[in-house]
Structure 1
Amino acid sequence: MKKYFAFLLVAAFATKASAQNGFQRTAKGTEYRMLTHNPGDRIKVNDVITFEVVQKTDKDSILFSTYRTGRPAQAQIQPIGDLMDIFPLLTLKDSVLIKVPTDTIFNGHEDKRPPFLPKGSNLLFLMKIEKVQSLTEAMAERDKEIAEGKALIAKYQADETTNTDKYIATNKLLLKTTPSGLKYKINKVSVKRKPLAGDTLLVNYVGRTLDGKVFDSSIAAEGMKAGLQRPADSYQPLQMVVGHGEVIPGWDEGLLLLNEGSKATFIIPSKLAYAEKGAGDDIKPFSTLLFDIELVKIKPGKHVPVKAAGTKPVKKVAKPPIKKAVAKKTS
């Protein structure tokens, strides 16, 4: 749906409007009505503008609104399209209503015309200019935002490391650490075989944040104790194919270190879990996660080369254990 309205927006900006009463017409025929007009320098070619825009039908049904998305639009002014008739008329904080006949938008594209935009109807664009910058100013602002974002991420990562080290020291944990940063401890040793990438595993688990919050579990007693909102009959070992990105990278790496029947504790840094995005209400951005794991059974499968643990979570977020625990998060 978003792509469809994006098509309408681009098409409207490149088409000519027909005359209607109450609107002024530019030399190229674009119709507009100034709602507010302020003194000051007018917009020029290559300026970068930040603006709010509402797109609606002539029956006043809103199709798109930056006010609703909470993020204004931004564009660099280029000497193409009929809106270049409009922008040179505007200054900072000006607002304007632009009318575009849908017949010109869908000329040659009638198959894309929706029922709510019949022939003879119009699209209305209500625009308000919130910021006008030179290209140099806009690029400097962008570079500053990027630098500030990197600095903030570095701070969050440093805080995460500090909190993890403090947790390990407080609980006097003796852990091994892999090159990727996964920390683990084998709590129950087994001499049975280890899995290979492509094997199907049955896994019992309890997932916690470092503050002790249980966000998911395959074990009924643990889930009910933590008050997890899930059906009682859903508690059973998780079945998943290891090494295929079906779970977070920390799981894919850690499970390959275990033997069938063994139990372990994983401490998984956010870069091997949900990084800066987090997952739901319980797993905040840059959260290190703790899992108590039991590798219940290995079902041999098609073996593939092991995926190296990366610094970013896989695009498909983990199926249980975490997905069920954060039911509010949708993809």
Structure 2
Amino acid sequence: MKKIFYFLAPILGMLTLSAKAQVGMQARPNGAQYQIFTPNTGEKIKQNDVITFHYIQMTDKDSVLFSSYTAGHTVQAQIHPSQSVADLMDIFPLLTLNDSVKVKVPTDSIFKGHEEARPPFFAKGSNLIFIIKITKVQSLQQAMDERNAAIAKQKQQEGIDAANYIAANKLTPITTASGLKYIVTKPSALRKPLPGDTVLVNYAGSLTNGKIFDSSIEKVAKAAGLDQPGRPYEPISVVLGQGQVIPGWEEGLALLHEGSAAKFIIPSNLGYGEKGGGQVIPPYATLIFDLEIVKIKPTKHVPVAAKPGVKHPVKKGTAKKTGVSKKTN
């Protein structure tokens, strides 16, 4: 409760100090009510603008449901015609940069037609409360330019981090055409997997800073302090060519042999890209995997049919049915 108070205090203090500027809630045609506490001069927010803002969402009994202050980041939204009372799109055009506003949205309007979705803390006649602070207003082009610049910076940093990792560990990886880097750390003369084969793999995955984020090996997971309750520590099963794993794994596993081990250095475009992977893999992160193919379970592979007009050699004594010698794996 103290943490909630600390986050609310700056806003509530601001509301009290500026109450003289504008007293009472004003109604919108859709049933929402609003009160601007820090009216600022300047251009109002327009359709298609991209706004950045902090907000606190609560019940009308002051129970906090969400706070961007607690989450530690602002929220972005592009302004578009309102689709519902809860999207606040008819409120934002009333505001300008640095404005703060309190909005009451009637829950009866939100849950109209689907009362079964109404949570018990939103009784009939209650309101959903928003307290919003506008921190940035941009045109769509400005927002796109800013995003593209941020992406370029992240990609550049990814390359630097990967290069530093390779240099620090004195590695000399092989680089494929796609950008995958790999080092075979334990060679094997056994067969390679083919598309459709099931590959059993033990692995440990880490970031270029050395932080391990996942492992199928219990000793490694426990040493890294990973919280993986209920996970069976055993080789994972991957059917090659079925898109069950990231592209870097698909390509890399096909290069290895049963019983071999390798280190994969997988750039983000072959990994989790701009979105990252949950809370553990950030956007544009190069991933390091130390892995071993424990076993290959081959599937039945169908021979490739001969092309019309092309002759294929047939072993002496083999029945010539299709023009292609029968192969077994």
Instruction: Tell me whether 80-89 or 29-38 shows the greater mean CA deviation.
Output: 80-89
How high is the TM-score relative to the length of structure 1? 0.61
Compute the displacement of 1:237 (Å).
4.1
Report the number of matched residues.
270
Q: Which residue of 1 aligns with 2:252?
A: 254
Compute the displacement of 1:152 (Å).
0.7
Determine whether 1:61 maps to 2:63: yes
How high is the TM-score relative to the length of structure 2? 0.61
Aligned ranges 1:69-88 → 2 under 5 Å: 69=71, 70-76=73-79, 78=81
Indicate conservation of the 8 Å contact 2:252/2:264, yes or no.
no
Aligned ranges 1:234-253 → 2 under 5 Å: 236-253=234-251
Indicate conservation of the 8 Å contact 2:45/2:94, yes or no.
no
The SS at the match of 1:99 is: strand
| Alpha-carbon separation, structure 2, partners of 1:80 and 1:219 | 49
Distance 1:242 1:63, change over 3 A: same
State the Cα deviation string for residues 98-136 of structure 1 (Å, max 9, x = none): 3333334434343333322222223333333334x4xxx
User: Unaligned stretches of 5+ in structure 2?
Assistant: 1-22, 303-329
Q: What one-letter code is carried by the residue in structure 2 that aligns with 1:71?
A: T
The SS at the match of 2:139 is: helix
Distance 1:301 1:55, change over 3 A: same
| Alpha-carbon separation, structure 2, partners of 1:158 and 1:193 | 34
| Alpha-carbon separation, structure 2, partners of 1:210 and 1:88 | 44
Q: Which residue of 2 aligns with 1:270?
A: 267
Compute the displacement of 1:246 (Å).
3.5
Q: Which residue of 2 aligns with 1:291?
A: 290
- Cα RMSD of the aligned pairs, angstroms, is 4.4
Q: Which one has a bigger Cα radius of gyration? A: 2
Q: What one-letter code is carried by the residue in structure 2 that aligns with 1:67?
A: Y
Determine whether 1:181 maps to 2:179: yes
Compute the displacement of 1:200 (Å).
1.9
The SS at the match of 1:141 is: helix
Q: What one-letter code is carried by the residue in structure 2 that aligns with 1:74?
A: A
State the Cα deviation string for residues 57-97 of structure 1 (Å, max 9, x = none): 22222234333442234342758988787667645433333
Indicate conservation of the 8 Å contact 1:95/1:127, yes or no.
yes
| Alpha-carbon separation, structure 1, partners of 2:38 and 2:63 | 26
Indicate conservation of the 8 Å contact 2:262/2:290, yes or no.
yes
| Alpha-carbon separation, structure 1, partners of 2:233 and 2:67 | 44
RCO higher in structure (CA 8 A, sep ≥6): 1
Distance 1:179 1:112, change over 3 A: same
Aligned ranges 1:200-215 → 2 under 5 Å: 200-205=198-203
Indicate conservation of the 8 Å contact 2:203/2:289, yes or no.
no
Aligned ranges 1:106-125 → 2 under 5 Å: 106-125=111-130
Distance 1:201 1:166, change over 3 A: same
User: Unaligned stretches of 5+ in structure 1?
Assistant: 1-21, 305-331
State the Cα deviation string for residues 168-221 of structure 1 (Å, max 9, x = none): 8x35x4x5443223334374331x43222222223345666667777766667x
The SS at the match of 2:129 is: strand
How many percent identity over aligned positions?
40
Q: What one-letter code is carried by the residue in structure 1 that aligns with 2:55?
A: V
